[in-house]
Amino acid sequence: MKFSSIKNRKIKFSFSLKEKHFKALKFIVHNQSLPLNIRWKASLLLSEMGVFSQTKISNKCFKTGRSRGFIRFTGLSRIQMRELGRDGKLPFIRKASW
């Protein structure tokens, strides 16, 4: 397994642990009806979380680590999807013939 896919899994896991807290702080910061001091404290807490962004998470094939041609339904790249579908290893997916 490639290093980038391992790193991607770690980022996904850490994001899932902090996601609720992150989104709550973002809501507080952008809510104009709240007092300024509360919004300021929320923005400070948000900045202390460090580099924490959902955009750093990229979809990669869990088998090969390929990022292009990724199919979300299976979590595989198009090449692996084709090979496993051809061999009959994916349920409900088989090679079409006519």
Separation of alpha carbons 65 and 53, rounded Å: 20
**Cβ neighbours, 10 Å, residue 66:** 17
**Cβ neighbours, 10 Å, residue 22:** 17
- In the chain, residues under CATH classification 4.10.830.10 are 59-98
Q: pLDDT digit string (tens) for 3-37?
A: 666 777 787 788 788 888 888 999 999 999 999 99
Tell me the whole-structure pTM to 2 decimals: 0.52
**Average confidence score pLDDT of the chain:** 83
Name the fold adopted by 59-98. 30s Ribosomal Protein S14; Chain N (4.10.830)
